[in-house]
Amino acid sequence: MKRTRLLRIAAATSLTAGVALVTTGSLAGAATNAPASTGHAVFIETDQATNTVLAYQRANDGTLTFAGSYATGGTGESAAGAAADPLASQGGLTLVDQNRELLAVNPGSDTVSVFSVNGATLQLIQRVPSGGDFPDSVTSHGDLVAVLNAGGLGSVAEFSLRGGTLTAVPNSVRSLGLNNTTPPNFVHSPGEIGYSPNGRFLVLTTKQSANTLGVANAYDVFGVGADGSLSASPTVTPAQHANPFAFTFDTVGHLVGTEAAGSWISTYTINSDGSLTALGSVSDGQGALCWVSSARGVFYGSNAASANVSSFTVSPQGAPSLLAQVAANTHPGTTDSAASPDGRFLYVEGGGSGALDVFAVNQNGSLDKLQTVWGLPTPFEGIAAS
């Protein structure tokens, strides 16, 4: 019998009819003065029963205009207990292959969708099994793609990406030995998967779910061979603080992770054996720091319980410092974020409010609010920017 799933369905917004655009400054009647398009876009995943990607054209000044709605062909689903963040993860929507394709997880149907990308226009070209239950994060390096499956025992599955299509790598699925339900509880589901900048390691966070060795609140690191093959098992390093959720890397390869219990940013070096060496940790004093993006050398953490974004810097030696406890206020239910590739703009989801906040990133790391896009379903999660 097909397992029972928790589905959160937006009642207020018809995605097929389009998504309303409301801004903090009126754009009504501004067609002749509208900023020129850059050919770039921001994409949002809805995670509703009929999972959909919403596309927004990005103008030169960073503001967004709704461009289209694209069904993934799969179904969304919410992690048990999740409120504003149905995936309870970072990286559910990812641009790959120099932004030529967009990958979207479908946690309700255990698949990954592949779209071709042309500016803000998408075309669904493939949907493949994720290799496990409740896929919630996807990443790439070169022609490799890895999917994190958060349900049940948890697993990692690897694919090759060639010609815009995914092919499962034989014998590439690795169990995480967790003890989750399907869908998993939001504080037990693995939070993110990502390749190290040099491609030698594949990293994931496990939050509070213990593996077969009884280790929870940890970073699992698989070695990646020259042929792309994964090590048989990961090297597991406990986090400096509980609930390791999301991470990114600085310019020299230090891992910069969020650890939500106490709202910490912690930094690590990845050693040659896949173990991590802690370099430092700093709290923003806010509530539920879970997501992190970087722009212009500054790291921005989303505080789900405080409805704001904090900013941090990391020294060349990997020591983190708090730049601004509140770099910007956002709409309630603050979740995932993405920066434009040039680092000039930051886009922050308000999954609990049906809003997307748009900020300009200044040279000193401060943020200026440019726009709020309204009319997204509640909740939603997953974002990528080109």
Residue 346's nearest CA partner among 284, 289, 293, 290 is 293
Query: Using an 8 Å Cβ cutoff, are 366 and 324 in contact?
Result: yes
- Residue 36 pLDDT: 75
CA distance 328 to 361: 11
Tell me the two tokens of residue 155.
């697993």
Averaged pLDDT, 29-45 = 70
Query: Using an 8 Å Cβ cutoff, are 322 and 291 in contact?
Result: no
Which DSSP string corresponds to 246-306?
EEEE-TT--EEEEETTTTEEEEEEEPTTS-EEEEEEEE-SSS-EEEEEEETTEEEEEETTT
Longest Cα–Cα distance in the chain: 63
- Residue 28 pLDDT: 24
Averaged pLDDT, 337-358 = 98
Tens digits of residue pLDDT in 278-287: 999 999 999 9
- Residue 37 pLDDT: 66
For strands 244-249 and 235-238, give the pairing.
Answer: unpaired
Query: Using an 8 Å Cβ cutoff, are 169 and 183 in contact?
Result: no
CA distance 368 to 172: 44
**Burial degree of 108 (CB within 10 A; 0-12, 13-18, 19+):** buried
CA distance 247 to 153: 22
Domain for residue 11, yes or no? no
Residue 68's nearest CA partner among 123, 109, 127 is 123
How many structural domains comprise the chain?
1
Domain for residue 29, yes or no? no
Query: Using an 8 Å Cβ cutoff, are 274 and 310 in contact?
Result: no
What's the chain's average pLDDT? 91
For strands 101-106 and 111-118, give the pairing.
Answer: antiparallel
Read off the CATH number of the domain in which 102 is found: 2.130.10.10
For strands 111-118 and 121-129, give the pairing.
Answer: antiparallel
Domain for residue 30, yes or no? no
Domain for residue 197, yes or no? yes
Domain for residue 205, yes or no? yes
Domain for residue 10, yes or no? no
Domain for residue 217, yes or no? yes
Domain that holds residue 240: 41-385
Tens digits of residue pLDDT in 167-224: 999 999 999 999 999 999 999 999 999 999 999 999 999 999 999 889 999 999 999 9
Domain for residue 25, yes or no? no
CA distance 146 to 160: 9
Give the global pTM. 0.92
Tens digits of residue pLDDT in 79-117: 999 999 999 999 999 999 999 999 999 999 999 999 999
- Residue 35 pLDDT: 75
Tens digits of residue pLDDT in 129-164: 999 999 999 999 999 999 999 999 999 999 999 999
